[in-house]
Amino acid sequence: MDTRALVGTIAFAALVAPAAAQKPPAPPPAPPPTGFYLGAGGGAGVFPFDDDFVQVTGATASEVTTDEGAAAYKAFLGYRFHPNVAIEGGYFDFGKFKFKRNVTSPFGGTAEATVKSSGWGIDAVAIFPLARQWSLFGKVGGFRSTTKTTYTSTGAVVFAAGTNLNPERKEWNLKLGFGGQFDFHRNFAVRAEIETVVGAGDDQTGEGNVSMLSIGLLARF
């Protein structure tokens, strides 16, 4: 390298270095916003049936068909009082689910149950912020479920006298959930999650863990 070029390079570095050293550090990322938020979501409700559900007296041969998935929706309100903690409550409609037993011997006919599950609940939410506006969260809480079932029959299938053809069960259940969230704006976020109500219903309405897989939009105010 030419001597004059080397001297010039050293002089330039000597001038730039102090200016670079005095440059203020980049500000830390803004903490996740706290306060009230509301939202809504939709997706699929799932209610798994036991094959022993809806027995028909006298039947020796039958086949079972089920519709264990349904359109579902929810609306919720929450308050995030710490970057890692929130409380959230909302109304859920998990949808309608169907169970049908097709009797083939010694007589023909069907026995069908249509189960509707809905209710409201409140959760404690643990939030785990990640990089680039992403976060994961988990939920645990209580859910006031309502399970309503309607029984119908066709052909030679007849329910026993005194059978309640429209049973309903209201109860408190454990509710669990987890999911992920992307904050695409300071006041708006989109989230995907799965939530499960444990042991909804009873022997008359049909009993099981009813779940919702949903995608929703959240707005802060």
Domain holding 193: CATH number?
2.40.160.20
Token pair of 96 as six digits: 């309608």
The pLDDT assigned to 51 comes to 87
| Residues linked to residue 113 through DSSP beta bridges, in sequence order | 99, 151
Q: Report pLDDT digits (tens) over 56-115.
A: 989 999 999 999 999 999 999 999 999 999 999 999 999 999 999 999 999 999 999 999
Three-state DSSP class for residue 2: coil
Reported confidence tier of residue 132, pLDDT bands at 50, 70, 90: confident
The model's pTM: 0.83
Count CB-CB contacts under 10 A for residue 83. 14
Which residues are within 8 A (CB) of 7 and not within 5 positions of it... i.e. 6 or more apart? none
Residue 13 clears pLDDT 60, i.e. is over it: no
Residue found by looking up tokens 């052909």 in the block:
155
The C-alpha angle 205, 208, 212, rounded to 5 degrees, equals 110
Q: Per the domain annotation, does 46 fall within a domain?
A: yes
The pLDDT assigned to 23 comes to 56
Rounded Cα distance between 123 and 87, Å, is 6
Rounded Cα distance between 148 and 117, Å, is 7
Reported confidence tier of residue 160, pLDDT bands at 50, 70, 90: confident
Rounded Cα distance between 42 and 143, Å, is 18
CB 94 within 8 A of CB 70: yes
Residue 46 clears pLDDT 90, i.e. is over it: yes
| Residues linked to residue 137 through DSSP beta bridges, in sequence order | 127, 179
Q: Per the domain annotation, does 66 fall within a domain?
A: yes
Q: Per the domain annotation, does 15 fall within a domain?
A: no
Q: Per the domain annotation, does 7 fall within a domain?
A: no
Mean pLDDT on 124-148: 95
CB 36 within 8 A of CB 69: no
The pLDDT assigned to 34 comes to 85
Q: Per the domain annotation, does 108 fall within a domain?
A: yes
Residue 6 clears pLDDT 80, i.e. is over it: no
Q: Per the domain annotation, does 202 fall within a domain?
A: yes
Reported confidence tier of residue 33, pLDDT bands at 50, 70, 90: confident
Rounded Cα distance between 12 and 19, Å, is 11
CB 34 within 8 A of CB 213: no
Q: How many domains does the chain have?
A: 1
Rounded Cα distance between 36 and 44, Å, is 27
Residue 162 clears pLDDT 50, i.e. is over it: yes
Q: Per the domain annotation, does 23 fall within a domain?
A: no
Mean pLDDT on 42-65: 93
Write out the residue range of the structural domain in which residue 172 sits.
35-220
Residue 9 clears pLDDT 50, i.e. is over it: no
Q: Per the domain annotation, does 140 fall within a domain?
A: yes
Average pLDDT, the chain: 89
Strand pairing class (134-155; 35-46): unpaired
Give me the sign of the Cα torsion angle 104, 107, 110, 111: negative
Token pair of 26 as six digits: 């980049």
The pLDDT assigned to 20 comes to 46
